[in-house]
Amino acid sequence: MSSEMTVWPSQSRDPAAPASAPVGKSENSSHHARIRVPRSVPRAVARGAAIVVVAALLVSLPLLVTDYVLSAILVPVLALALAGIGQNFITGYAGQLSVGSAAFMSVGAFATYDASSHLHGLPLLASFAFGGFVAGVVGLFFGLPSLRIRGFYLVVSTLAAQFFVVWLFTKVGWFSDYSASGVITAPKLSVAGFDLSSPGGHYWLSLFVVAPLTVLGRNLVRGRLGRSWMAVRDMETAAAVVGVRTEQAKLLAFGIGSFYCGVAGALWAFAYLGTVEPHGLDLDRSFQVLFIVILGGLGSIAGPFVGAAFVILFPVALDRLGSVLVGGSVDAGLLQNVEKIIFGALVILLLIKQPAGMARLLQIAWLRIGRWRPRQA
């Protein structure tokens, strides 16, 4: 297990940090102190301004792009990225393998549905929180074997969760209000009197749920809990020796990760699809979320967004490319197989070449652009 530390990706860092480090090193220390103080103020201002601009852009996106982009690309990307963050808490940070994220998404969706249909007048966001909470409890339960077994043996426990949840929601009608084959449909989407049933509304709902949870997650993994997760991942015995409460850390990874998956499931079901059946969130979806995390970046918060965008956009791009090359519509089955091959090959390639995923690749590219200066003759 000791080799794990060197190969497994470390926590993602602020993109600015690696860039500034070599600069600081090359200067001598007395200059360093003098230069650094006045510099950091405009940098903080620039950073704050950038955040404001990006936030404004994200919020005003529905005015800029078409309904298709909103409801077929942005909303599912946000939902899957949130699920990816949850998966990343469990797998990328705490080092526990899970192939049950779709089950936790499913629990979240059904619990949200049950809360909003049985408790009239419950605000939408409260029922989302309830769905996430129930998913968290279920995730915690299926994470219990992690106290006794390690690594990929947990696959079997999370597989149990996956198959059991699909079976439960199909067979026990109470969860879906006795609808045929367990299909549930979205409650009315409105927050504080604002109607959110348009594509733009779906996007805003997703954004206002995903954005705070992302910031929270980022702070979480940089804080005490995140560091104890990484300690458990990198060397559990050593972590326990230096006083990290490893059992608590692992259970919290499953609980919090599943909370994120649960909320993501509610978004997936109600903001994206509008309706969901138990088999819509099956093992394939779990693999998809796992792939999002591997492709985007294990152990990073930005990674799931990159991975989710790739997973949603790539099939669209492949379809367009196919019809350009062939000059007509391409057989869907053929495309699906090509897609599978490329996804699988990319997973292998990234695991070999860059375990920190596409997010790190983008970060490296960004740094190269930032450092590039025209050569002086």
CB-based contact 182:165 (threshold 8 Å): no
What is the footprint of other proteins within residues 28-57 (CB under 8 A)?
none
- Rounded to the nearest whole angstrom, what is the least distance from the CB of residue 109 to other proteins in the complex? 19
- Rounded to the nearest whole angstrom, what is the least distance from the CB of residue 262 to other proteins in the complex? 20
Residue in 16, 67, 163, 248 binding other proteins, rule: CB under 8 A: 163
The mark string for 164-193 relative to other proteins (x by CB under 8 A, - otherwise) is: x-xx--xxx---------------------
Find, among 132, 43, 149, the residue nearest to 98 by Cα.
149
- Rounded to the nearest whole angstrom, what is the least distance from the CB of residue 3 to other proteins in the complex? 5
Residue in 148, 368, 373, 375 binding other proteins, rule: CB under 8 A: 148
- Rounded to the nearest whole angstrom, what is the least distance from the CB of residue 272 to other proteins in the complex? 23
Q: How crowded is the C-beta side of 364, counted as CA atoms within 13 Å? A: 7
By the rule CB under 8 A, 361 interacts with other proteins: no
Q: Per CB under 8 A, which region of 26-34, 114-122, 157-165, 256-264 contacts other proteins?
A: 157-165
Q: Per CB under 8 A, which region of 6-14, 132-140, 186-194, 304-312 contacts other proteins?
A: 6-14
Residue in 65, 126, 318, 346 binding other proteins, rule: CB under 8 A: 346
- 294-319 as b/e, with b when 16 or more CB fall inside 10 Å? bbbbbbbbbbbbbbbbbbbeebeebe
Identity at 152, one-letter amino acid code = F
Residue in 238, 334, 365, 366 binding other proteins, rule: CB under 8 A: 334
Find, among 124, 132, 129, the residue nearest to 195 by Cα.
124
What's the longest Cα–Cα distance across the chain? 76
By the rule CB under 8 A, 344 interacts with other proteins: yes
Which residue's structure tokens are 């979480």?
220
Identity at 242, one-letter amino acid code = V
CB-based contact 265:106 (threshold 8 Å): yes
- Rounded Cα distance between 251 and 61, Å, is 38
CB-based contact 196:181 (threshold 8 Å): no
By the rule CB under 8 A, 343 interacts with other proteins: yes
| Strand 184-185 versus strand 275-276 pairing type | antiparallel
- Rounded to the nearest whole angstrom, what is the least distance from the CB of residue 177 to other proteins in the complex? 17
When the beta carbons of 121 and 243 are compared against other proteins, the nearer one is: 243
Tell me the sheet residues that pair with 191: 194
Q: Per CB under 8 A, which region of 152-160, 189-197, 212-220, 361-369 contacts other proteins?
A: 152-160
- Rounded to the nearest whole angstrom, what is the least distance from the CB of residue 363 to other proteins in the complex? 20
By the rule CB under 8 A, 159 interacts with other proteins: yes
- Rounded to the nearest whole angstrom, what is the least distance from the CB of residue 188 to other proteins in the complex? 31
- Rounded to the nearest whole angstrom, what is the least distance from the CB of residue 168 to other proteins in the complex? 9
User: CB neighbours of 358 closer than 8 A, spacing ≥ 6?
Assistant: 295, 296, 297, 303, 306, 307, 310, 350
Q: How crowded is the C-beta side of 48, counted as CA atoms within 13 Å? A: 6
The mark string for 284-323 relative to other proteins (x by CB under 8 A, - otherwise) is: ---x--x---x-----------------------------
| Strand 190-191 versus strand 194-195 pairing type | antiparallel
The mark string for 226-255 relative to other proteins (x by CB under 8 A, - otherwise) is: ----------x---------xx--------
Find, among 66, 71, 308, the residue nearest to 203 by Cα.
71
| DSSP code at position 187 | P
- Rounded to the nearest whole angstrom, what is the least distance from the CB of residue 318 to other proteins in the complex? 12
Q: Which residues bind other proteins (CB under 8 A)?
A: 1, 3-4, 6-8, 91, 95, 97, 145-153, 155-157, 159-160, 163-164, 166-167, 170-172, 236, 246-247, 283, 287, 290, 294, 333-334, 336-341, 343-348, 351-352, 355
